[in-house]
């Protein structure tokens, strides 16, 4: 065998060795990936220790945040341990603004949220009025063009019909 080629192979073998003498040579060091399923198993085990029970028939869950937004879950899986005051909610949550969910969540709002909703409604009305004022002159002229003018006197016709009867 060629001594230059042998030296090159020995150098490559020494570069790939991870451990000491007698260990298996590996070219790639594989790192273990933490899987989501492993975390889910740990969570399930912790919830079993708390003796949680599933709550069927929950259509939606809304969590009101301090910044005024709402964390909204549609058709979540809900488990609860009433004795431990623990609730687990599974599903995809979306952060939405309070205005997006207003008609359906009015009965869920507390006094703090109602106050913020009232302020939000007042600011929305102010914005609407500001837009109407800007378009007020233009809209009034357009409305006059759309409505036809009265040509006849309807009161006279009504009196004439009343006298005939």
Nearest to 92 by CA among 110, 106, 108, 71: 71
Rounded-to-integer distance, Cα 59 and Cα 104, Å: 12
Residue 95: the pLDDT is 93
Counting DSSP H helices and E strands in the chain, the numbers are 5, 6
CB contact at 8 A, 109 and 98: no
CB contact at 8 A, 84 and 102: no
Write the DSSP symbol of residue 80.
Answer: E
Residue 129: the pLDDT is 82
Domains of the chain with bracketed CATH: 49-132 (2.20.70.30)
Write the DSSP symbol of residue 38.
Answer: H
pLDDT, mean of each 10-residue run, the chain (165 residues): 87 72 71 72 87 91 82 91 89 85 72 71 77 66 60 62 59
Three-state SS for 10? helix
Beta-ladder partners of 79: 54, 88
pTM for this prediction: 0.45
């Amino acid at each position: 065998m060629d001594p230059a080629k042998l030296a090159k192979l020995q150098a490559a073998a020494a570069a790939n060795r991870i451990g000491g003498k007698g260990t298996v040579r590996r070219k790639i060091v594989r790192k273990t990936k933490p899987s989501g399923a492993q975390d889910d198993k740990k969570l399930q085990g912790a919830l079993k220790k708390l003796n949680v029970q599933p709550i069927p028939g929950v259509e939606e869950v809304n969590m009101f945040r301090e910044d005024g937004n709402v964390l909204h879950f549609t058709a979540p899986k809900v488990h609860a341990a009433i004795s431990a005051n623990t609730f687990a909610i599974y599903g995809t949550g979306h952060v939405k603004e309070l205005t997006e969910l207003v008609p359906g969540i009015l009965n869920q709002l507390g006094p703090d949220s109602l106050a913020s909703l009232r302020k939000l409604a007042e600011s929305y009305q102010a914005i609407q009025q500001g837009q109407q004022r800007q378009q007020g002159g233009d809209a009034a002229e357009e409305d006059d063009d759309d409505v036809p003018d009265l040509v006849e006197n309807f009161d006279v016709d009504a009196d004439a019909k009343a006298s005939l009867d």
